[in-house]
Structure 1
C-alpha cells in the first residue's frame, strides 16, 4: 500500500508580530498553517509600543495590511528633537514622517503593540488556525515531518516548524538540543553563553502627561543613559529609558527583572530629563504599563536545523532604539515565503514530500538573504545607542556640535534610508505604487554590488588621490584655461547640492581660494578624495537649490563674456596676443561670483511658496534640472570647441579620421604627460560611474559604455568637455531614478 502523501503544513510557534505576519503571507498563497501561541489571548497586555518602518510597511502593503493600518493612525508627528542631558534642545527636524513619505513612500508608524497584534489577527480569514494557550515544550523530527508538543499534552505535525517565539525562544533551545548530536559545529554548546547584553531598558506607555508637546519625538544625549519619547494617538506617550550596565553581561549572567526592580530603576532615574520641562518621573507616574528588561543583541550563527527554522528575535535581535526588530522579522518572513514559493514552482510535485535536504536548502537561502543585513541592523542599533549614551565622548561631542552648528536634514535621514533601501519583499506579489524619491534596491535597474567591494574601491580611490597630492612637486600646476572650467564648475555645483549642506563639499568658495593659492595639482586630488568619502549617495542629495542653479548658469554666461572682453582689452592695449593660459586665475573666481549672485537673487526675489507643502521639501523636486542642463551644455560646447580649435586632438593623435587606436594613443599620451591634477580628474570621472553602478542606479553595460565614453572623450572633446558631459549624464540618472 502506497504511503499517504503529506500536505505541506507550516507550524508557527508564537503569535507575535512575526508569527502573525507570516500567517497572513501564507494565507495569501493558500498554504496551510497553524499558530501555537502560549498566551490565552491574542493581544495580551504585555510589551509597550511598536514601530513600523518603511521596509516593513512595504511588505505589509503587499498583503493588504498597510492602508487599513494607516487609517487607524491619522496623525503624524510634526517635529523630532535631540536634546542635551538637561533636556534643552539643540537640533530639531520638522515634519520627519512627511519626509519619510517623500523619501520611501511610507511614514514610520508607532502604536501599541497590542493594537498591531489585534489588527494582524483580525486580518486572518481563518481564526481557527490560531490556537491559544498552546505553550510549546518540545520538538522532535519524525519521518517526513516535525512534531511539536505543547504543555497541555497536545502534539502537532507539520512539514516545517517556525520559531517566532522571541528572544527567549523555546524553539531555539530545542533546535540546539536536536543538533548537538549531529551538527555541533554549527550550534556550539556555549553559544547562548556568548550572547551579550550591554544595556537594560525600562519601556512603557503613559497617557495625559502634563506638558508633553503635541506630535513630538525626542531623544536625549547623556552619559550611560538616554531617554526617548514619542507621541501616540489618544494623548499617549511611548517612552524608553536605556541605561548601560556597568559591565557587559553574557548568557546566564544576564539578569531577569521583576516589577519591583522596575520601580527601583524608575526611582533611580526619576530626575533624568526627557525634555526641558519634563523629567522621567512625570512619564512613570502617568504610566499605563511599564517593563524593565535586559537588551540582548545578537545574530545567531545558524538559524535552522532540518525542519526547524528561527524567525525574528529568536534568530536576530537588535536593541529597540532603531525600531527595526519587528520589521526585521517581517523581512525574514518575506524571504521565507520567497523560498517556499520558489521550491513549490521548481518541483513537479510542488511542496509535497519535501526531503530534509530540500528544506535545509530552502532555509539556507533565507538565512543567506537575511544574515548580513541583520548583522548590519544590529550593529547600527548598537552604534546609535552608544552615541546617545556617550560611550565615546569625543565622537558624541563631535556629532552634537555638527548637528547644532552644521545642521543637515539630508544627513539626518540618510542613515535611516541606507537601512530601509536594502529591504526584502515578497517576490510573487506586486508592490502597490507609491511615489518615492529613493527606490528600494530591488526596484533599481541593477543589483548593488557587495558593500565590502564598494568599500575597498572607495578606499583605493581616496588613498590614490591623497598620494597624488603628496607627490605633487609644484605648488602651482598650470593647465589650459578650458581644461580648468569643468573642475571649478564641478566644485561649485557640488557645493550647492542638498546632500552636501554644511559638509566639506559644501564650501565651493573655500575650495576656489585653495585652488587659487595652492594650485590644481594639490587641490584636485584632495578634493576628489573628500568627494569619494563624503559625497551624497541618495537621489534627494542631488538637488541644487533653485536660485543657486539659476545663478550658476547666469554666472557662466557672463563669465565667458567677461573673460573674452578682458582678453580683447589686454590685447588691444598691449598690441600682443594674450594666451588663454594667462587668464586661468579668472576661472577660480566662478564660485565666489555664484555666491554673490545667489545672495542677490535671494534678497531681491521672494520665493513662491506652496502652503500645502513645507519649503524644505523642495529638494525632492527636479526643478533645478533645466538650469543644470543648460550649464552643462554650455560648458561642454565651449570646452569642446576650444579643444578642437586649439588642435588638442590632432596634436595628440593625428587627424579626426584616425582609428580607434589613435584615440587610445591620445589617452596614453595625455596620462603620461599630465600631472596629478589630470590623473585625479580622470579617476574621479571613472569613480563617479563606478559609484552609480555600485549603488544599482545603472546596469553594468551602461556603466561600461559611460567609461568608454570618458576615455574617448579625453581626445575627442578634451577632459573638460568630457567631465561636463559626464556630470550632465550623472544628474539625469539620479533625477530619473525616483518613482513618480
Structure 2
C-alpha cells in the first residue's frame, strides 16, 4: 500500500503544470493542484501578487464552495460584511424596488455574497500556499516552445521553465492564448481559429473603484441604478467600504486592435463630470463616492466567448478564454470554477495513467475540460451581457423589462441564479464543505435531480395524458356539453353529486398549485384557466389531462427543492378551503338542489365556477397580512398546517359522498366501476358506447378526469423515487392510490395522494444513496 502511494506521488511529481498569471484563476488552479498533489509553477508578470488597482470581487456560492474546499473561505468571511438588501433605482434616484433577494440567495446556497477587494482575495490565496517558492513574480512570459515530451516557457528576464502543459491564466490580453493560436496556425489546426481571433469586442466601458464610508449608503445593501446608456452598481461592504461601478455605452462597438485606452487622470476626470450629480441611492449622488475614493480605474469592458480553449499542451482559463461584463459578478467565480474543473480533469488523468501521461492522453484530458465548460460558460457570458444592456436600457424591450417586469418578478432572478450555480463544479477529490450540504441548499438538493431529466423526456413520459385527452374526444366528442343542467331523475343527480364533490377536491389541489411559489411564471399556475375551459366546454374530461401534462413537464422535483419554492404563501394557504367552499361547493350545491325552473342561470354559474373560486380566493387572501417575505426565509413550512386541513377536507368530502352513495344506492359503485370497464372497451374500439345516458356521460367524464389525475400523480411519485426523496415502492404507491379509489372514490384518492406528495416535498431533504442504484 505504501509502495503504491509512493509510486503515485512520484508519477504526480514528474507531471508539472506551468501556470502563467498570478490571477484569481491562476492562484486557484495552483492551490487546487497543490491539494491534488500535482506539481506546478506560477509565473506572474507583476512584481507583486496583490497590487491595488481599485478592483473588487464578489464571491458567489459557486466560487465560495470551491474556496471553502481549499480552506480559505473562512478567511474571506473575516474581510466581508455580506449585503442583504438590493435597492433598484431610476436615474433620478426614485426607488423602484427594495428586496432582500441576497439574503434568500444565502439561505438557498449556504453562502452569502461576499464583496471585498480583489487584492485581498489574491493575498489570501497566496497566504495559503505551503510552498510559496513555486509562485514567481516579475516573470513576464514572451513565448512557448513545444518539446517532444513537454513545453518550455520563456520569460523576458531570460529565464525559462519546462513542464508538461501550460495553463494561461494571464487575463483578457493573454499572451498564452496568442501562443496557442500561433502554434495551431503553424499546424493548420483549429477550424474556428479565425472566428476566435475576431471574437473580442467592447460596447461599454466602466469606471470601477473603492471608496471609504459614504453617509446615506446603508450597510448590508447593494444599489443598482438603471438609465438610458448608463448605470450604477454600488455594494456596501465591511466597515461600510463601498465598491462601485459606473457603466456607460460607447459611441460604437470596438474590436482589437482599435480598443480605446484611458489615461488615469485626464480621462477619468473628464469621464466623471457627467455623473457627479447623478444618484446612486435615493439621497446620495455619485459625487459623494468620488470624493471618498481610495482607488479607481477606467477601462473598456471586453466581451468574448472563445471556441477553442486548448490546443496541444496549452490550455487557457479565466478572462483569457471567457471574458464577460461584471454586472452579474460572475467573472471571478467562473475563473474559480474553471480552475477546479481543470484540476479535476488532470487529477483523473493521473489517477488512470500508469507512468507519465503521453501527449495524446494529455490532449484528450484538456479537450474534455474544454467541452465540459463550453455550454455553461456560453450561457453565463450571454447572461452577463444581457444584464449590462438591460440596466442601460439598450432597447425599448430592455427598458420595459427593467421597469415593468423585473420589479414584479418576485424571486425569479434568485431562481435563475440558484439554478445556474447548482450545476457548478467542485473539487471532486476533496469532500464537499459542510455549508454546501445544509438541508435545502441548492448544492445538496442538486443531487436529487435525475440526470438527463429535461422537459423533452418529461413530456415523453407524460404523453399518455395527452393521448387520454385525444381518445376522449374521439370516443365521447362533445356529447357532455350541456349534460350538467339536464339531469333526469335521482340516479343522474347522484352521479352528478359524486362528480362535483370530487371536483371540489381537485379544485383544492388546483388552487394550491396556482399560488405555489415555485410555479410562478409557469403554465402550472394557470389552473383556473384550464378549469374554466373544461367547465365551459363540457366538464373537465378534456382540459384536465392537458393541465396534468403541462404541470408534469414543468414541475420537476428540483423546482421545489428549495423549501421556499414549495411554499404556498400563508395568506393563500389559510383561505383555500374557504374559497373552494364559497366559490365552488356553494354553486355546485345550488345546481343540485335549487329550483330548476331557470336552468340557464345555474348552467352559467357552473361554467364560471373556477373563475369565481379564483376571484374569491384572491379577495379572501387580501384580507390577511402577506407574511411571505419573512416566511420564505425564516419559516418556509408555515403553510403546512393549512394545506393539511385543506387536503383533509377534500378527502373527507369526496370520500364521505362516495361512501354515502355506496351505502344508500347499492347499484352506484357497481355501475361506476362497470362504466369504467365499458369506457376502456370503448377506448379500444374508439367508438361511443351504445345508448349512453346522461348519467353515464357524467360518470365517463368523472372517470376520465380522475383516472388521468391518478396517472399524473403516479408520474410525480415516480420522480420522487428516482430523486431519492421517497423510498416507498411503486407497487405500494399504486396500491395506496387504487385501494383508496376503490374504498373512498377517485377524488379522495387524488387528494390523499397529493397530500402525501406535499409531505414528501416538505420533509427535509436527506440524500438516499439507494437513489443512485435506481437511476
Same fold? TM cut 0.5 = yes
Name 1:16's counterpart in structure 2.
Answer: 23
Does the CA-based 8 Å contact 1:525-1:681 persist in structure 2?
Answer: no
Instruction: Report the Cα distance in structure 1 between the residues aligned to 2:217 and 2:247, rounded to whole angstroms.
Output: 20
- Specify the SS of the correspondent of 1:172: helix
Contact 1:497 1:545 survives alignment (8 Å): yes
How many angstroms does 1:269 deviate by? 3.7
Partner of residue 636, structure 2 = 621
Question: Could you tell me which residue of structure 1 aligns to residue 393 of structure 2?
Answer: 390
Provide the residue aligned with 1:165 in structure 2.
170
Q: 1:60 aligns with which of 67, 77, 80?
A: 67
Contact persistence 1:528–1:681 (CA under 8 A): no
In structure 2, what is the equivalent of residue 421 of structure 1?
422
Q: 2:503 aligns with which of 479, 484, 490?
A: 484
Structure 1 window deviating more from structure 2 (241-250 vs 37-46): it is: 241-250
Structure 1 contact 14–38 (Cα < 8 Å) conserved? yes
- Aligned to 2:279, the other structure's residue is in SS state coil
TM-score by length of 1: 0.81
Distance 1:147 1:546, change over 3 A: same
Equivalent residue runs for 1:349-360 within 5 Å: 349=354, 352-360=355-363
Q: Distance in 2 between matches of 1:384 and 1:469?
A: 47
- In 2, Cα distance between equivalents of 1:542 and 1:566: 35
Structure 1 unaligned regions, length at least 5: none
User: Compared with structure 1, are the counterparts of its residues 705 and 510 closer, same or farther at alpha carbon in structure 2 (3 Å cutoff)?
Assistant: same
Which residue in the other structure is 1:34 paired with? 41
1:133 matched to 2:134: no
How far 1:151 sits from its partner (Å)? 0.9
Partners of 2:721 and 2:231 in 1: CA distance: 34
CA shift for structure 1 position 653: 6.3
Asked if structure 2 preserves the Cα contact closer than 8 Å seen for 1:104 and 1:436, the reply is: no
Distance 1:465 1:375 in 2: 40
- Give ranges in structure 2 of 5+ residues lacking alignment: 1-9, 485-495, 689-696, 768-775
Bigger drift between 538-547 and 148-157 goes to 538-547
Following superposition of structure 1 onto structure 2, how do residues 453-464 of structure 1 map, counting pairs within 5 Å? 453=456
1:453 and 1:412 mapped to 2: Cα distance? 24
Moved more, 212-221 or 328-337: 212-221
Change (3 A) 1:190 1:415: closer
Decide whether aligned partners of structure 1 residues 455 and 655 sit closer, same or farther in structure 2, where only a CA change above 3 A counts: closer
Matched position secondary structure for 2:214? coil
1:107 matched to 2:122? The reply is no
CA distance in 1, matches of 2:530, 2:429: 50
1 CA distance for matches of 2:370 and 2:738?
45
Check conservation: 1:541, 1:619, Cα contact below 8 A.
no
Name the SS of the counterpart of 1:189 in structure 2.
helix
Shift in Å at residue 228 of structure 1?
0.9
Output aligned runs, 1:205-216, within 5 Å: 205-216=210-221
**Deviation, structure 1 residue 534:** 8.1
- Residue 87 in structure 1 maps to residue 96 in structure 2: no
1:63 CA drift (Å): 1.5
Q: Give secondary structure in 2 for the equivalent of 1:51.
A: strand
User: Of 192, 196, 201, which aligns to 1:191?
Assistant: 196
- Alignment partner of 1:320 is 2:326: yes
1:64 partner SS: coil
Aligned to 2:366: 363
Counterpart of 2:343 in structure 1 is: 337
Residues in 2 aligned to 1:72 and 1:334: alpha-carbon distance in whole angstroms = 23
Offset of residue 620 of structure 1: 5.0
Summarize the alignment of residues 573-722 of structure 1 with structure 2, pairs less than 5 Å apart. 590-591=613-614, 598=621, 602=624, 615-617=630-632, 621-636=636-651, 638-639=653-654, 654=674, 682=708, 686=712, 689=715, 693=719, 697=723, 720-721=747-748
Q: Secondary structure at the match of 1:251?
A: coil
Contact 1:551-1:597 within 8 A present in 2 as well: yes
Equivalent residue number for residue 542 of structure 1: 566
Structure 1 pair 469–52 and aligned structure 2 pair: CA distance change class (3 A) = farther
Residues 87 and 277 in structure 1, CA contact (< 8 A), matched pair in contact too: yes
2:513 to 494, 506, 510: 494
- SS of alignment partner, residue 442 of structure 2: coil
CA spacing shift, 1:120–1:467, aligned 2, 3 Å = farther
For residues 300 and 710 of structure 1, do their structure 2 counterparts lie closer, same or farther at Cα, with a shift above 3 Å needed?
farther
Confirm whether residue 735 of structure 1 aligns to residue 767 of structure 2: no
Moved more, 540-549 or 624-633: 624-633
Q: How big is the alpha-carbon RMSD for the aligned residues of Structure 1 and Structure 2?
A: 4.9
| Post-superposition CA distance 1:23-72 (Å, at most 9, x none) | 22122222211110011001012241101001110111112111222123
Which whole-Å CA distance do the structure 1 matches of 2:401 and 2:654 have between them?
A: 42
Give the C-alpha shift of residue 202 in structure 1: 1.4
For residue 615 of structure 1, report the CA deviation from its aligned partner: 2.6
In 1, distance between residues paired with 2:415 and 2:509?
A: 23
What does residue 43 of structure 1 align with? Answer: 50
Q: Cα deviation per residue 1:324-360 (whole Å; 9 max; x = unaligned)?
A: 111111111111122122222223x3xx421111112
Would you say the 8 A contact 2:349–2:357 is kept in 1?
A: no
1:251/1:99 CA distance change after superposition, 3 Å: same
Change (3 A) 1:715 1:425: same
Decide which of 353, 375, 399 is 2:378's aligned counterpart. 375
CA change 1:334–1:77 in 2 (3 A) is same
CA contact (8 A) 2:199 2:306 kept: no
The superposition leaves residues 184-210 of structure 1 with CA deviations (integer Å, 9 ceiling, x where unpaired) of 334523522232322211111122334
Change over 3 Å in CA distance of 1:360–1:681 after alignment to 2: farther
Matched residue of 1:622: which SS? coil
SS state at 1:221 partner: strand
**What is the aligned counterpart of 1:221 among 226, 231, 238?**
226
Distance 1:583 1:240, change over 3 A: closer
Tell me how far 1:413 sits from its aligned partner.
1.6
Q: CA deviation at 1:732?
A: 3.7
- 1:197-251 C-alpha deviation (Å, 9 max, x unpaired): 2221111112233433333211112112111111122332111111223332233
- Which deviates more, 495-504 or 25-34? 495-504
SS at match of 2:91: coil
The answer to which of 615-624 and 359-368 deviates more is 615-624
Aligned to 1:432: 433
1:307 maps to 2:313: yes
Structure 1 residues 333 and 554, CA gap change in structure 2 (3 angstroms): same
Residue 278 of structure 2: aligned partner: 272
Residue 171 of structure 1 deviates from its aligned partner by: 0.7
- 2:403 is aligned to 400
